[in-house]
Structure 1
Amino acid sequence: MADRSYAKHRLGPLLPTRLRPVTRPRPWVELAFTALLYWAYTLTRNAVPAHRFAAVRRAHEIWDAERELHVNIELAVNHTTDKVGWLIVGMNYYYATLHFIVTIAVLVWLYARHPARYRAVRTGLYTATLLALAGFAFFATAPPRFLAGQGFIDTVVVHHTWGSWASGDVASLSNQYAAMPSVHIIWSTWSGLTLAFLARRTWVRVLGVCYPVVTFTVILATANHFVADAAAGAATLAVAFLLQRLLTGREAYPTLRQPQGEAAR
């Protein structure tokens, strides 16, 4: 009876069987998806100049709202960490590099070691990224470091870290008004969940849990995101996995209802 009730309330699938295979996709298909995402990002980057004033205005509105709610911890974290030189420089490099390195590494590991889970878990990531890009296009938001007069320290510029936002080349390759939602939180939370649910070794699962927490600290310390941006990033990922479930009818990660044999290698 319980099984019937669960089946009755199960979400999805909305897609026909032929459009929701469980086998591992070919590498060229994944490369095509990646190229599509980069092209979509390029569209949002090219629209940056037109969004500048609205983006800064929204940032001020977010900061004011956070102060009203007493969740405005960004400035304190930013100033506290900036007092420790090696720590803040390390965080600058963390922000600039691990964002891509860890996500790509987890994707490759997932593809190689968990082919049966790959499509569902990857779809959650790609859907969340596309939703974030839509947010950048229609709700451009400046990072805290752009709020003149509020006391935020642009740690990358102040400490002359490699890849400084003040560099023309770096600024031309990145969307400077893409704070809401935080893709750093989307990608780090996705990576952390994937390792926490699918990794076999306990220490890897623990790292998976810690990774988004550390990333959250870093994005505040470097004045690149508000608390609201992080919350929006987590919500975006949750919506993406819900959409994935509606489309395929499959859960991305193992649940307690499934046998232990489903555990990842």
Structure 2
Amino acid sequence: MGESTEQFAADAAGGQAAAQAGSVPGEGRTGHRPDGATRAAQSTGAAVRSRIRDQRRSPARPRLWFELALIGVSYWLYSLVRNAVPEQDVIAQRHATWIWDLEQRLGVAVEHGINHAVDSVGWLIVGMNYYYATLHFIVTIGVLVWLYRSHPGRYAAARTVLFVTTGLALIGFYFYPLAPPRLMTGGGFIDTVKVHDTWGSMASGAAASVSNQYAAMPSMHIGWSLWCGLTIFFLARAAWVRALGLLYPALTLLVIVSTANHFWMDAVGGALCLALGFTAARLLYHVWVYQLPRTKGAPTDDLTVPEQWTLTKVSH
């Protein structure tokens, strides 16, 4: 009788263990196991996630044709959306008046004085007009090319920052049309491109008919120049080149105010978009774009990716 009782208890315990084992998918002979289609889907999903993770962390140089196509399509969409925004003159003028009044109440309305002072120096303001029209694109493209060639491991993350920043700017253009100071009614600002008969703004002269004149908030001249400046500062080796990196957005701020293309608060909007772009890239890549590596004994100048992107997990 005792042996029967013990045998019964042992059998019960064994059955319970078998049931528990069978309840885990893929284990035991009982329970619910995934069918072939489910297992295939799980395997495919894991493979896709692994591939995306590897691509995000790989120091390999991205495919050139893909990057060129991506930049081309992105700029086309940027121009299309930016210039397709309805030009709401009344609302844009109202926003400009509100910003100008706010700056005056805060005692920081310096744009008018700077605009008139710099305009009195002909060669200087003409140079600024051409600066505004050209360097915005030339420097940004140049930094992208330099990143691609010299720091391929950081390229994708840094490019993501730029794209997110620009996408946020398009939202601002659409929902907050803003007349620049030179087009502000009753502002007394000088349209330096028009007065000096130079080309320096898509919203002046013949180009005005195909360009949204009220896409001023946020300023992408500041957003892009800050991106370029920070990239050069953190990744360039020569001290004088890094100094130029910091000087570039500062000079750009002076140019956009002197030419009356932006209020300085537009620059604040551009900087905010850039900060959100860096945050988005941080969430995606799990490391700050320009975070310095801390690999012991490694020559820091030769590293193109943060330490976290190169370490391989060791299974225990």
Range class of TM-score, shorter chain: 0.7 to 0.9
- Paired amino acid for 2:80: T
Please report how far the alpha carbon of residue 40 of structure 1 lies from its aligned counterpart in structure 2 after TM superposition: 3.5
Is the radius of gyration larger for structure 1 or structure 2?
Answer: 2
> CA offsets per residue over residues 54-89 of structure 1, 9 Å max, x none?
122111111111111111111111011011000000
Match of 1:18 among 35, 51, 55: 51
Distance in 2 of aligned mates of 1:111 and 1:242: 21
1:231 counterpart residue number: 268
- Structure number with greater CO (CA < 8 Å, separation at least 6) is 1
**What percent of counterpart residues are identical?**
53
- Paired amino acid for 1:161: T
Tell me the C-alpha RMSD between the 2 structures: 2.0
- Paired amino acid for 1:19: I
Q: Is 2:174 the partner of 1:143? A: no
1:182 counterpart residue number: 219
Distance in 2 of aligned mates of 1:251 and 1:32: 26
Distance in 1 of aligned mates of 2:115 and 2:199: 19
Distance in 2 of aligned mates of 1:163 and 1:121: 28
Q: Is 2:135 the partner of 1:108? A: no
Distance in 2 of aligned mates of 1:263 and 1:241: 23
Please report how far the alpha carbon of residue 17 of structure 1 lies from its aligned counterpart in structure 2 after TM superposition: 4.7
Q: Do the aligned residues in 2 keep the contact of 1:254 with 1:263 (CA within 8 Å)?
A: no
Secondary structure class of the residue paired with 2:68: helix
> CA offsets per residue over residues 73-108 of structure 1, 9 Å max, x none?
111110110110000000000000000000000100
Change (3 A) 1:258 1:244: farther
Distance in 1 of aligned mates of 2:253 and 2:263: 10
Distance in 1 of aligned mates of 2:302 and 2:104: 43
Distance in 1 of aligned mates of 2:246 and 2:110: 22
Q: Is 2:282 the partner of 1:218? A: no
TM-score by length of 1: 0.88
Distance in 2 of aligned mates of 1:229 and 1:163: 18
Change (3 A) 1:73 1:264: farther
Please report how far the alpha carbon of residue 174 of structure 1 lies from its aligned counterpart in structure 2 after TM superposition: 2.9
Question: What is the count of residue pairs matched by the alignment?
Answer: 249
> CA offsets per residue over residues 136-169 of structure 1, 9 Å max, x none?
111121111111222100000000003564422x
- Paired amino acid for 1:18: R
1:45 counterpart residue number: 83
Distance in 1 of aligned mates of 2:302 and 2:177: 38
1:56 counterpart residue number: 93
Please report how far the alpha carbon of residue 53 of structure 1 lies from its aligned counterpart in structure 2 after TM superposition: 2.2
> CA offsets per residue over residues 23-66 of structure 1, 9 Å max, x none?
322122222322134223312312233x3321221111111111
Please report how far the alpha carbon of residue 19 of structure 1 lies from its aligned counterpart in structure 2 after TM superposition: 2.4
Change (3 A) 1:81 1:26: same
Q: Do the aligned residues in 1 keep the contact of 2:180 with 2:262 (CA within 8 Å)?
A: yes
1:251 counterpart residue number: 288
TM-score by length of 2: 0.74
Change (3 A) 1:228 1:166: closer
Q: Do the aligned residues in 1 keep the contact of 2:93 with 2:185 (CA within 8 Å)?
A: no
1:207 counterpart residue number: 244
Please report how far the alpha carbon of residue 261 of structure 1 lies from its aligned counterpart in structure 2 after TM superposition: 3.1
Moved beyond 4 Å, runs of 4+: 256-260
